[in-house]
Amino acid sequence: MGLLYRTWFGLTGWIVGVVLWLFILQGQVLWWQPAALWALFIVLWLITRQLGADSGALPFTAVLVFCGWVFLARLDPALAQGHFYGAMLGAVLYLFGLLVPAIRFPFTRLWAWAALGLLAVTAIWGESAGGARAWLSVGSLRFQPVELAKIFLIFYLGRQLSREQAPWEHLFFLTCFCLLAAWQRDLGPAVLVFAVFGWLSLWHSFSWYKLLGWAAAAAGGFCGAVGLFSHVQNRVLAWLKPWDYLDSKGYQVLQGLFALRAGGLVGQGLGQGLVRVIPHGHTDYIFAVLGEEFGFLGVCALLLCYLSLAFWALRILDGLDQERQLVGLGLTLLLHGQVVLVVGGILRLLPFTGMTLPFVSFGSTSLAAQFWMLGTIAGWSRGGGEA
């Protein structure tokens, strides 16, 4: 308990410093938003504790959201404002997950059909940006349905796996999800969901034949994507030979590596990095921006926040029934697998997938969906896991 209070006290001091820096030195008109976010997280923390749930995820989530807001405010105040409103919406979904046991909904297959329906509607009527048709507009609201579709599918797959029913049905829905994502030319979510379901399947009942089957499917999917999609070919070439394409497809990869190297151990300092030379620094490559200004120690602290969230989730899942364990593990892997894919792509350990860094990158839909995942897991800690 004392550690949590000290964490909030330290975070409060950091927020006060950021507000003063923005207001006095930078002249930012949005200086009040960090204070509002601090108040929001305090309210969520108090409500979570009042309901008897585990609030341990909120301090780490607050650090990640605040880091994202600060760097987005430097790039463009409009981006920071979008991040702020995304956090506000996320708080509502966090409370929804905390209070409403969504996985107890009796018609399990509706989660899968809802996921496929969202992707199909986006593929037909969606808007393109960055080469992917992944956005949908409803009036003045513009969002990415795939962020919700991923959660819906994990709800379905986790519940059905726990019941050991219709394994071919699982593969049918997973295949349809991946094909619809490929139709949108948005393969990152497909890779993530495929990896999460493969992990869940092996965790539930391991066999070497099953492992070989998943490995063969992954290899076949990778080769098919490289052969069918030019943007995947470009990303693979940028991953393997970035110096050969310094002025084209390898530019983003190399600029990210240059930024991380320039950051050194302790970074260039807040506001001192060359953030605008990195393409998509507010979404795909914000980790490189953080590395340049906060350095190796700063990004290690950021990764420790994600690791702490993982331990928090696993501690809650331990002792729950198998259904919630599988769904909760799927949600945890969905969040942290995305971190691995993003950071691994920037460090050139993996081909880059073009996804956002959870809670930090700009993207209101993804931010709100991630809050929902945390609220769902926190809700299961109420009353000793009876929620």
Asked if the model's pLDDT at residue 375 lies above 90, the reply is yes
User: Of 97 and 205, which is predicted with more confidence?
Assistant: 97
- The rounded distance, in Å, linking the Cα atoms of 122 and 133 is 7
- The rounded distance, in Å, linking the Cα atoms of 234 and 43 is 46
Asked if the model's pLDDT at residue 10 lies above 90, the reply is no
Give a three-class secondary structure readout of the chain. CHHHHHHHHHHHHHHHHHHHHHHHHCCCCCCHHHHHHHHHHHHHHHHHHHCCCCCCHHHHHHHHHHHHHHHHHHHCHHHHHHHHHHHHHHHHHHHHHHHCCHHHCCCHHHHHHHHHHHHHHHHHHCEEECCEEEEEEECCEEECHHHHHHHHHHHHHHHHHHHCCCHHHHHHHHHHHHHHHHHCCCHHHHHHHHHHHHHHHHHHCCCHHHHHHHHHHHHHHHHHHHHHCHHHHHHHHHHHCHHHHCCCCCHHHHHHHHHHHHHCCCCCCCCCCCHHHCCCCCCCCHHHHHHHHHHHHHHHHHHHHHHHHHHHHHHHHCCCCHHHHHHHHHHHHHHHHHHHHHHHHHCCCCCCCCCCCCCCCCCHHHHHHHHHHHHHHHHCCHHHCCC
Q: How confident is the model at residue 357 (pLDDT cuts 50, 70, 90)?
A: very high
Residue whose tokens read 């585990």: 54
Domain boundaries, the chain: 2-384
What percent of the chain lies above the pLDDT cut of 90? 40
Q: How confident is the model at residue 383 (pLDDT cuts 50, 70, 90)?
A: low
Asked if the model's pLDDT at residue 265 lies above 80, the reply is yes
User: Of 306 and 354, which is predicted with more confidence?
Assistant: 306
For the chain, give the mean pLDDT: 85
Q: Which amino acid is at 255?
A: Q
Helix axes 322-346 and 364-379, enclosed angle (nearest 10): 150
Please say whether the beta carbons of 357 and 286 come within 8 A: yes
Interval 20-69: pLDDT, tens: 666 555 556 566 788 888 889 989 999 999 999 999 899 899 989 988 88
pLDDT score at 158: 87
Residue 152, token pair as written in the block: 């819906």
- The rounded distance, in Å, linking the Cα atoms of 188 and 192 is 6
- The rounded distance, in Å, linking the Cα atoms of 33 and 66 is 10
Interval 37-51: pLDDT, tens: 888 998 999 999 999
Interval 127-147: pLDDT, tens: 877 667 888 887 777 889 999
Task: Supply the pTM of this predicted model.
Answer: 0.90
- Over residues 229-242, the mean pLDDT reads 86
Q: How confident is the model at residue 369 (pLDDT cuts 50, 70, 90)?
A: very high
